[in-house]
Structure 1
Amino acid sequence: MASRRSTRLAAMASSAKVDPAPPPPAHTAPSCKRKAPTQAAVPVDGAGEVPSTPRKRRTTGDAKPPKTPTPAAANLIAEEAHTQKPKPAAVARLADPSRTNALLRSPKTSRIIAAQAPVAAVPSKLATTTTTTTTATILEEACAHLIRVDPRMKLLIDRHYCRLFSPEGLAEQIDPFEALCSSIISQQVSGAAAKSIKARFIALFNSPPPNPPSSQTTTAPDTDADTDDLITAKPTFPTPAAVARTPLPTLRTAGLSQRKAEYLQGLAQKFASGELTAQELADAPYDEMLAKLTAVRGLGRWSVEMFACFALRRMDVFSTGDLGVQRGMAAFVGRDVARLKRKGTGSNSKGGGKWKYMAEEEMEEISGRFRPFRSLFMWYMWRVEETDVSTME
């Protein structure tokens, strides 16, 4: 009798273990979130009830190349224009390292302008090699040239992608008037201050016309301003004519000094009168363009060099006066820049003295080997301190 009872109890115990409770899903981590009423997984498309606290999404980097560590003025020049339309697909165009490769937008008419080929080109070895160079291939050709000249450049090129001269970079439309104004605005101020002043400068010509508050009437532009600049959905950079006829006190309300306001107005007058044009900046030889722009009040040699490189996308520009380039080149040739006292490394260099990591003559000699792609070489000299140059052997 006892054995029958024990057999019956054993059978009842075994039947109770037939449907054990399912273990919790392996992917479910302990949390304080309210669980769904059923064991079905929450749909990934958000259908049905969702937890009261949304699940934290895992963020991933966009793998975009870092910004160029150039001075604030150069960064501001390279920014997209406020009148930039949606970027078109990059269409391959003929490119020339010694000429303007950017698509310029006329400050007066917004017409797109590209550099025109010389009327009477003298046949030369360079001409035969550049006829097949396009905006889709010029960066690749330039990088290959830099590596042929100095194999140590490969490490820099592999680690840093130069979007400035890439097909997508050369497809951007640049307003030369805005780029030069940005250069003037950013002089002797921090990058954040320059952006703030530029935004307020643009706002002067984009005030909402219907019933503006009385407190803002003192900072509004004069009543003769172009209505096209005022009635717009997005802030647009003013035309040269609008800036030229705006009183200096009004320009100064954007945070400009008296001198910078005069510089901007003088530059605007040259564009408005036709003394400076986008077509001329696109076609002029580099030395001619450099001489004409440095004659404008407020534009020094460094500002024009940065404009030629970042705005016009000329690929054979080199600035010996840029401290970042000096420091990068000193490190590139194997010097301990931390121990340099910035007093000029050459006693025979003109203007030597303070704030010189390397003599200008030596910089010219080294950079000359990388012609006609010195702009790209200069861009990588800004990148040297982000790379362990001790491995460049």
Structure 2
Amino acid sequence: MSTRRSARLAASESKTTIASPAPSAPSAQRGRKRKAGTDAEPNGRITTPPPPTPTPSNVKLMVEPAAPGVATPPSKKPRAAAVDRLADSDITLATLLSPETSRVVTSKKVRARSPEASPTKKPMRDVFAPKVSETANILEEGNKFLISVDPRMRPLVENNHCRIFSPEGLAERVDPFEALCSGIISQQVSGAAAKSIKKRFIDLFYEDEESQSEDEEDDENVKKRPFPVPSQVVDVPLEKLRTAGLSQRKAEYVSGLAEKFVAGELSAQILANAPYEEVIERLTAVRGLGLWSAEMFACFGLKRIDVFSLGDLGVQRGMAAFVGRDIAKLKSKGGKFKYMSEADMKDLSDQFKPYRSLFMWYMWRVEETDISTME
């Protein structure tokens, strides 16, 4: 998940978050020595880093619902979730599961009583401050806000359903340890390889059980076997972790992440309640998790509504197209910010506070939408 390159998304989202890219082609030289950090495809061939990618492909594996039976059943129309709590732009909106206990954790923002309340008056409803919206309505209200700031957002909003912040998406339970491990597994490999490696990683902790039928689909196998908890992972030697298809560095990263959870430096409760800056600081202190990885987890895993990544090339490219720049001409320009400067990205995105996560998500969709209607 460390790569910060994002290209035009090839397919529209199908009720999950964002589409996965096609697996990268295997190397033509079978005997070539593998570089550190690369992983093997399911067929045993070495995977080269996937082509310009896919912020989204890395994110998809990370945001799969945690634990069996807790995902919202698929439906043609988004269903209202059994969750309706006040939402602050600086707290976690996701319902988290404690990795070790599966205890449900939600943000416990300190409530402040309305100043109008007094002993002689009927107490008014406590509120979170600052209040953004109730979670059941946050997507609808966020979309209205984006359009009010810039009417060019309308076709993006009308043509793309952001499931992440929908009632359905917010009702899903996220195991932060599994989500972060999945992000590490996804680094520099194709979506198919990452999915296979994750399955084999989980299988390491069920070797004593009767093997599943070979005819059973991988997805079903993963769903039936809960993700290992941090205390289990720290007890497994790196050599054994590598048998799942992890590189040496990724094995170290996953083991190190588990140690952070076991030591209490990371937990579902901390991630639910900590201010955004603290969340980023704690995550980037983990080997294998850079700023971009932490931002993606904060947005897609913790479902914080006001996250924005200046370092994502796909977002930068989408923003440039959104304001009418010629992407084809800018493509050959050198430098990290070839489509739009960092300062311009910040100036534009700041207009959409406190819904920058939502704005960022739509920027990944710009090139899938007829932007001529925005002019």
Question: Do the two structures share a fold, i.e. TM-score over 0.5?
Answer: yes
Please name the residue that 1:253 is paired with.
243
Following superposition, the deviation at residue 338 of structure 1 comes to: 1.4
* SS at structure 2 position matched to 1:379: helix
1:326 aligns with 2:299: no
Query: For residues 188-215 of structure 1, what are the alpha-carbon distances to aligned partners after superposition, in whole Å with 9 as ceiling and x for unaligned?
Result: 11111111111111111122436x79xx
Which of these residues, 224, 227, 234, is aligned with residue 237 of structure 1? 227
Following superposition, the deviation at residue 87 of structure 1 comes to: 3.7
Please name the residue that 1:382 is paired with.
364
Please name the residue that 1:90 is paired with.
82
For the 8 Å contact 2:202–2:228, the answer to whether it is kept is: yes
- Cα distance in 1 for partners of 2:114, 2:257 equals 35
Query: For residues 254-300 of structure 1, what are the alpha-carbon distances to aligned partners after superposition, in whole Å with 9 as ceiling and x for unaligned?
Result: 00000100000010011012121110000000011111110111100
For the 8 Å contact 1:68–1:383, the answer to whether it is kept is: no
Query: For residues 114-165 of structure 1, what are the alpha-carbon distances to aligned partners after superposition, in whole Å with 9 as ceiling and x for unaligned?
Result: 0001266998xxx788548211111111111101100110111011111110
> In structure 2, do the counterparts of structure 1 residues 354 and 290 end up closer, same or farther at CA, with 3 Å as the change threshold?
closer
Please name the residue that 2:186 is paired with.
186
Following superposition, the deviation at residue 233 of structure 1 comes to: 9.1
1:143 aligns with 2:143: yes
Please name the residue that 1:79 is paired with.
64
- Cα distance in 2 for partners of 1:361, 1:122 equals 38
- Cα distance in 2 for partners of 1:290, 1:122 equals 31
Please name the residue that 1:300 is paired with.
290
> In structure 2, do the counterparts of structure 1 residues 268 and 338 end up closer, same or farther at CA, with 3 Å as the change threshold?
same
Unaligned runs of 5+ in 2: 1-12, 20-54, 74-80, 116-126, 213-221
* SS at structure 1 position matched to 2:227: coil
Alignment of 1:1-393 (within 5 A): 67-69=17-19, 70-85=55-70, 87=72, 89-118=81-110, 131=131, 133-209=133-209, 234-341=224-331, 343=333, 353-354=335-336, 356-393=338-375
- Cα distance in 2 for partners of 1:82, 1:108 equals 12
- Cα distance in 2 for partners of 1:193, 1:233 equals 17
- Cα distance in 1 for partners of 2:175, 2:58 equals 16
* SS at structure 2 position matched to 1:299: coil
For the 8 Å contact 2:320–2:340, the answer to whether it is kept is: yes
For the 8 Å contact 1:103–1:171, the answer to whether it is kept is: yes
Q: Larger radius of gyration, structure 1 or 2?
A: 1
Query: For residues 336-389 of structure 1, what are the alpha-carbon distances to aligned partners after superposition, in whole Å with 9 as ceiling and x for unaligned?
Result: 111213536xxxxxxxx2463211111011000000000000000000000111
Unaligned runs of 5+ in 1: 1-62, 214-231, 345-352
> In structure 2, do the counterparts of structure 1 residues 289 and 66 end up closer, same or farther at CA, with 3 Å as the change threshold?
closer
Please name the residue that 2:25 is paired with.
none
2:207 maps to amino acid: S
Please name the residue that 1:4 is paired with.
none
> In structure 2, do the counterparts of structure 1 residues 90 and 128 end up closer, same or farther at CA, with 3 Å as the change threshold?
closer
For the 8 Å contact 2:89–2:132, the answer to whether it is kept is: no
- Cα distance in 1 for partners of 2:241, 2:137 equals 43
RCO comparison, higher one (Cα < 8 Å, 6+): 2
For the 8 Å contact 1:342–1:357, the answer to whether it is kept is: no
1:68 maps to amino acid: I
- Cα distance in 2 for partners of 1:254, 1:68 equals 26
- Cα distance in 2 for partners of 1:66, 1:284 equals 27
Following superposition, the deviation at residue 65 of structure 1 comes to: 5.1
* SS at structure 1 position matched to 2:96: strand
* SS at structure 1 position matched to 2:133: coil
- Cα distance in 1 for partners of 2:147, 2:129 equals 18
> In structure 2, do the counterparts of structure 1 residues 371 and 188 end up closer, same or farther at CA, with 3 Å as the change threshold?
same
> In structure 2, do the counterparts of structure 1 residues 66 and 282 end up closer, same or farther at CA, with 3 Å as the change threshold?
closer
- Cα distance in 1 for partners of 2:343, 2:161 equals 29
* SS at structure 2 position matched to 1:338: helix
For the 8 Å contact 2:284–2:291, the answer to whether it is kept is: yes
Please name the residue that 2:78 is paired with.
none
- Cα distance in 1 for partners of 2:113, 2:280 equals 22
> In structure 2, do the counterparts of structure 1 residues 65 and 362 end up closer, same or farther at CA, with 3 Å as the change threshold?
same
- Cα distance in 2 for partners of 1:277, 1:180 equals 12
- Cα distance in 1 for partners of 2:113, 2:296 equals 27
